[in-house]
Structure 1
């Protein structure tokens, strides 16, 4: 098995915490929130145990949103609700899923929907010699699917652990997994730990 790189998307307070401002990834289903956080935690712990690099991707904007191009409804809404302002609690990683300082974890901040666009993510993957990626996060139908499509177009083999992803609308989550199933391996955290990607 190629040593994969885990790309963990938007495990941030405004996205996952019950008091967070963004609701496209999680609704008020506390049981679903706890399942997602538990699965994402297992993924990160397993990556650390296996010495797999982790790229933690966060979305964050300046407090006046001068760096936000609001050309899509989802981006217009970020500004409207005052979400993920750099330096705020909402833009920070959820405590349970935050990066650790071990020399094998990296943080990338992005401003668009695709985690690669306008960031140094591809340069990091080149430095790490990556060929296989595990991509998970919130929300499935936006940042996850957009990032998976870009990664596949760049030539990476991609696995998506569905239980470490979420959308507030379960039908959007499932539809996105169905779409990505044409280009990536849809799996679970447990299955990833038991087999190669």
Structure 2
């Protein structure tokens, strides 16, 4: 049995509406995702280093057909409702097939209805139950779900690391700005190849 590292990898937004070419919101992150290599680098991390994490967690965002969970939404949540993205049971809400090979080691936590992966989910309880102290974030959108989840994790006392090459945003500028100027205010930023788990 391996020694616990007290570290969890959190995967956010790896769903067809973002990453499939026919996904409703694919164009929103397409350029940034291509430049950062978010998908390829995350898959490589899972392939080469999955065993270094005590937990690997996915928190998909899902809504009912009528979006009854969203009352007078604004911003990105309004956009999601307007374009009909992330409806439960639809292609766009499904986890991308590239992660199928790792489904036995990924714990999926349902309930995410907004920007923060801790909101309406039992993510914090799962992390506490497993003695997790360090949370490593990968996924999209950097300026929205990654940032809000990272800030909340830091407020809860977790050590936070954002993987610059395993995240993507709406623009290349936005991605770089958050990695260089925002995330260092409450956590650390590194590439997947230089990540130190301890």
TM over 0.5: yes
Q: Secondary structure at the match of 2:185?
A: coil
CA root-mean-square deviation? 2.1
Alignment of 1:20-169 (within 5 A): 20-23=23-26, 26-27=29-30, 31-32=34-35, 35-50=37-52, 52-98=54-100, 100-102=102-104, 104-109=105-110, 110-169=112-171
Name the TM-score, length of structure 2 as normaliser: 0.88
Q: 1:59 to 1:18 in 2, by over 3 A?
A: same
Structure 2: how far apart are the matches of 1:189 and 1:30? Answer: 15
Deviations along 1:30-86, one digit per CA (max 9) or x if unpaired, are 8437x2211111222345333531110100100111122343221111011110000
Q: 1:182 to 1:30 in 2, by over 3 A?
A: closer
Give the conservation status (yes or no) of the 8 Å contact 1:10–1:59.
yes
Give the conservation status (yes or no) of the 8 Å contact 1:47–1:54.
no
Give the conservation status (yes or no) of the 8 Å contact 1:25–1:140.
no
Structure 2: how far apart are the matches of 1:69 and 1:24? Answer: 26
Structure 2: how far apart are the matches of 1:136 and 1:31? Answer: 15
Give the conservation status (yes or no) of the 8 Å contact 2:141–2:169.
yes
Name the TM-score, length of structure 1 as normaliser: 0.89
Question: Aligned residue for 2:192?
Answer: 189
Offset at residue 26 of structure 1 (A): 1.2
Structure 1: how far apart are the matches of 2:28 and 2:10? Answer: 17
Moved over 6 A (4+): none
Q: 1:51 to 1:158 in 2, by over 3 A?
A: closer
Deviations along 1:94-149, one digit per CA (max 9) or x if unpaired, are 111247443x5311230011110111100110111100110111000000000000
Structure 2: how far apart are the matches of 1:52 and 1:173? Answer: 28
Q: 1:173 aligns with which of 163, 172, 175?
A: 175
Q: 1:99 to 1:4 in 2, by over 3 A?
A: farther
Structure 1: how far apart are the matches of 2:113 and 2:103? Answer: 24
Q: Secondary structure at the match of 1:11?
A: coil
* More divergent stretch after superposition (170-179 vs 147-156): 170-179
* Structure 1 unaligned blocks of 5 or more: none
